Amino acid sequence: MKESSILWRGEMTTRRALTGRGMSFLSGGMLWLLGFLILPSLIFIALSFAERGVYGEVIWTFSLENYRRLAGFSSFGWTPDYLLILGRSVIVAFVTTSVAILLSYPLTFFIASRPERSRFMWLVIIIIPFWTNIVIRTYAWFFLFSPEFPFARIAAFLGLIPAGTSLYPSAFAVYVGMISDYLPFLALPLYSSVERLDWSLVEAAQDLYASRIRVFMQAILPQTAPGLTVGIILTFVPTMATFVVPDLLGGAKYMLVGNLIQQQFGASRDWPFGAAISMALMLMTLFSMRIYRRKGKKVDLL
Amino acid sequence: MKKNRHIVIQSISFFTIAMLYLPLFGVAVFSVNSAKYGWVWKEFTLKWYTSLFSNEYILAAAWNTLVLAVVSTLISTLIGTLFAIGISRFPWGRKTDSFLDILLNFPVVIPDIVMAGSLVVVFALLRSVSDLFEAGLVTMIIGHITFQIAFVALVVRSRLVSIGTDIEEAARDLFASNWYLMRRIMLPLLLPGIVAGAMLAFTLSLDDFVISFFTSGPDSQTLPLYIYSAVRRGVTPQIHALSTLVVFITVILVVAAERISRKN
């Protein structure tokens, strides 16, 4: 039976020929992503229910043991250690994102208010840290917080830390590192919205004697919501999962879920438990985004 | 009152910019200081920079970084571009469309450490099939391509949307063959998008730490991995010099990329 011809974008063809050609365009990317992204993720989910052998090998017998362990139950009774790490990661991600928002609004307004000619230069000032490797930027804080440097000396003078010690490992160092490392991920998408802001709406609100908070909430926030949303996702997801910053600046004192996962794939070699923690991380990230999304609108990345 | 507000906005902005640049600036200053330790300035020197070029570990790491970035960018640009054309130029049903959309956005939103962990496991399984998946440059390249494809495809797709389909239809009306259409019409029109996607992929590769850290082998150190392991052994001016050099290269790449994309 002969298939009937269809007209598609100026071309007389058959549906089958079109599908065949389309599939040949898609096949490379599809096979790659299925093979190295989707399939691994599915194996990972299964792995999180498996068991670790004596030598770190995987034994494929399924139980909820890893999740029970993550919740703190072990043969020695109940400890909140893992749950504390998970909770701390959420708090760190939340605080980092919030501070980044508070700092990014003035920064993007400032850049948008520069004269057209120098605006590009100011913008490059945020793009450069955006693209600079995070290890290098974290290392730079590590260096700046060492004992002989003014920051640590001032803190020692104020009695916050013992004299002659560095500012890391500490929660303070982790927060400073996190905020400065991830701020460009929020500021850059936000700027794309701020740049297009319709100031006449802001002025109208001001003319009608709206308070500053109302001007922001009703004239600025809705207009900048698209950029802000992308920025929040780009900041929140990596800050939840980061392990470079807490590893260099927090040490064992301030472990986050990223370090915990890395341990399971490094020193401890307990892949099933690592997979279970990863699942918890994914769930917490999705859950947080869900709460945010309910309040915001639909998200478009890039 | 208005003036006051400007001053507040300005001072917060300068504070933020200082927070972004002070550490990098500090490292750069101490990379040309001949004192090896501490908060003292001795004299200007470039010896830490010249010593980089006689350190074979660093040279090997730099070479690995470059090979990793170039190879993964080339492959992911090819696959990603075809993928984007496949997605947006054929009449897929609604279900296929939303499946492809999820496939495309998944690598963007999945935490990199989770992706890295799952790759470690899959490479371990594949190793029993072929030696190719022994941890090293090959596994790192595969890992990088996996996250790059989606970014390339997203950039190229947005270009496909913005150029519209009129010219293609006109070409078809004039009896252009598939091959002619691809080579003489789509390719030139898409080129800015493809270049932008490739530049994004390249910078993502240079920027990556987590995927490389998990999938690397003993002989496939890259510069970020080298710096990371060096910090744990102690901070040295040589690492300052290396970091400053990497930042400097980043600055050049960013400015060049902005120039090119602004021209388009």
Structure tokens that stand for B214 in this block: 């998990």
Is residue B92 one of the residues assigned to a domain? Answer: yes
Asked if B204 and B147 touch (Cβ cutoff 8 Å), the reply is: yes
pLDDT in tens, B234-256: 788 888 999 999 999 888 888 88
Residue A302, pLDDT score:
40
Structure tokens that stand for B139 in this block: 């596994």
Is residue A2 one of the residues assigned to a domain? Answer: no
Contacting residues of B for A40, CB less than 8 Å apart = 115, 118-119, 121-122
Is the Cβ pair B169, A143 closer than 8 Å?
Answer: no
Is residue B258 one of the residues assigned to a domain? Answer: no
The separation between the first and the last C-alpha atoms of chain B, rounded to the nearest angstrom, is 42
> Beta-strand (E) ranges in chain A?
5-8, 11-14, 51-52, 58-59, 73-74, 77-78
Is residue A140 one of the residues assigned to a domain? Answer: yes
* Domain that includes residue B181, residue range: 63-215
A267 vs B3, higher pLDDT? A267
Question: What CATH number is associated with residue B91?
Answer: 1.10.3720.10
Residue B1, pLDDT score:
46
Is the Cβ pair B246, A233 closer than 8 Å?
Answer: no
Residue in B13, B106, B118 nearest the CB of A43: B118
Is residue A264 one of the residues assigned to a domain? Answer: yes
Residue B2, pLDDT score:
57
* Domain that includes residue A90, residue range: 74-295
CA dist., res. A132 & res. A127, Å (int): 9
Is residue B151 one of the residues assigned to a domain? Answer: yes
Q: Tell whether pTM > 0.80.
A: yes
Question: What CATH number is associated with residue A179?
Answer: 1.10.3720.10
Residue A294, pLDDT score:
62
Residue B21, pLDDT score:
93
Q: Is A120 on the interface with B (CB under 8 A)?
A: yes
Per residue of chain A (302 residues), give pLDDT as tens: 456 777 777 777 788 888 888 888 999 999 999 999 999 999 999 999 998 888 878 888 888 888 988 888 877 778 888 999 999 999 999 999 999 999 999 999 999 988 888 888 888 888 888 888 999 999 999 888 888 888 888 888 887 888 778 888 888 999 999 999 999 999 999 998 898 888 888 888 888 888 888 888 888 888 888 889 889 988 998 999 998 999 989 877 788 999 999 999 988 889 999 999 999 999 888 888 777 766 554 444 44
Is the Cβ pair A278, B145 closer than 8 Å?
Answer: no
Residue in B110, B170, B255 nearest the CB of A124: B255
Asked if A239 and A183 touch (Cβ cutoff 8 Å), the reply is: no
Neighbours of B174 (CB within 10 A): 9
Q: How far is A12 from chain B (nearest CA, A)?
A: 9
Is residue B30 one of the residues assigned to a domain? Answer: no
Q: Is B217 on the interface with A (CB under 8 A)?
A: no
Is the Cβ pair A136, B209 closer than 8 Å?
Answer: no
Is residue A143 one of the residues assigned to a domain? Answer: yes
Is residue B232 one of the residues assigned to a domain? Answer: no
The total number of structural domains that make up chain A: 1
Is the Cβ pair B120, A103 closer than 8 Å?
Answer: no
Is residue A268 one of the residues assigned to a domain? Answer: yes
Q: Which of A140, A108, A59, A92 is nearest to A224 (CA)?
A: A108
